[in-house]
């Protein structure tokens, strides 16, 4: 039978949380599901920040690469269907290829606490400066961290606010107990050594947190080679 089969209730909860968070920061209304070779299913959404967000769960999906209506997926999850129904495939709703799974080199790690603090500062600025069309593009395009590689000091990745907003908005950074970070959550609830890893390929920059990753094209995140 076609649909999404999940290995455990925890995987079902992870999918439901992913879809719910995506609905808050993505107005496309679709989720792309792709079977991986390691027995996991990759879930992908395009955020409103021109950044791709993804996480994976244990399970199987048929078809092996399908674009599904997010509301249909959420309703099926809520009804406890097994397999989870995906509705009619919507291939035309997703343009562009997904990033490859190989070819990424590690640049450096950023403390997760630092990204949460940056997101909170950015949110305050957005509330003060954004207009009727939403968050100002100048804020989203602001470079907030420059990441270099110890192995290749000449390479630097400029991480922009749009990537920080996408990572934190999807709830990929959580506290030491695995709970979602809210506006009022104490920063000390996040482990001091909790990392967000910055990786790059020829075409993409990837930020990996414990509960998911975001991807941006190198020109979007401002990668420069000096």
Residue 134 pLDDT > 80: no
Q: Are residues 130 and 197 in the same domain?
A: yes
Lowest mean pLDDT among 76-90, 157-171, 212-226: 212-226
Read off the tokens for 38: 């390691």
Among 93, 128, 161, residue at a domain's last position: 93
Q: Are residues 35 and 122 in the same domain?
A: no
Among 93, 114, 139, residue at a domain's last position: 93
Within-domain flag for 98: no
Q: Are residues 153 and 55 in the same domain?
A: no
Q: Are residues 144 and 75 in the same domain?
A: no
Q: In whole angstroms, what is the distance from residue 182 CA to residue 130 CA?
A: 21
Q: How confident is the model at residue 187 (pLDDT cuts 50, 70, 90)?
A: very high
Q: How confident is the model at residue 218 (pLDDT cuts 50, 70, 90)?
A: confident
Q: Are residues 111 and 220 in the same domain?
A: yes
Classify the C-alpha dihedral 190-41-74-167 as positive or negative: positive
Q: Are residues 82 and 112 in the same domain?
A: no
The predicted structure's pLDDT at residue 224: 39
- For residue 219, give its domain range: 105-225
Q: Are residues 70 and 126 in the same domain?
A: no
Q: Are residues 123 and 205 in the same domain?
A: yes
Q: How many CB atoms lie within 10 A of CB 9?
A: 9
Name the residue among 53, 63, 52 with its Cα closest to residue 18. 53
Among 93, 126, 144, residue at a domain's last position: 93
Within-domain flag for 86: yes
Q: Which tens digit of pLDDT belongs to each residue from 19-46?
A: 999 998 887 899 999 999 999 999 999 9
Find the mean pLDDT for residues 115-130: 87
Compare 158 and 130 and report the one with higher pLDDT: 158
Q: Are residues 89 and 11 in the same domain?
A: yes
The tally of domains found in the chain comes to: 2
Q: How many CB atoms lie within 10 A of CB 140?
A: 22
């Amino acid at each position: 039978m076609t649909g999404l089969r999940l290995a455990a209730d925890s995987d079902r909860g992870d999918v439901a949380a992913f879809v719910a968070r995506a609905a808050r920061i993505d107005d496309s209304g679709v989720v792309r599901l792709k079977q991986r070779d390691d027995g996991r299913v990759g879930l992908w959404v395009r955020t409103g920040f021109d950044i791709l967000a993804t996480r994976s769960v244990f399970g199987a999906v048929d078809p092996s690469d399908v674009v599904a209506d997010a509301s249909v997926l959420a309703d099926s999850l809520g009804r406890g269907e097994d397999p989870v129904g995906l509705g009619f495939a919507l291939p035309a709703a997703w343009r562009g290829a997904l990033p490859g799974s190989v070819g990424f080199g590690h640049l450096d790690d950023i403390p997760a606490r630092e990204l949460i603090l940056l997101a909170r500062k950015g949110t305050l600025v957005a509330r003060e400066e954004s207009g009727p069309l939403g968050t100002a593009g100048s804020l989203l395009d602001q470079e907030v961290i420059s990441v270099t590689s110890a192995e290749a000091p000449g390479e630097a990745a400029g991480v922009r606010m749009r990537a920080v907003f996408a990572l934190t908005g999807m709830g990929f950074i959580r506290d030491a107990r695995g709970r979602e970070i809210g506006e009022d959550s104490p920063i000390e609830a996040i482990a001091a050594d909790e990392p967000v890893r910055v990786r790059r390929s020829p075409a993409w920059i990837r930020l990996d947190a414990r509960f998911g990753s975001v991807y941006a094209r190198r020109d979007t995140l401002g990668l420069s080679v000096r």
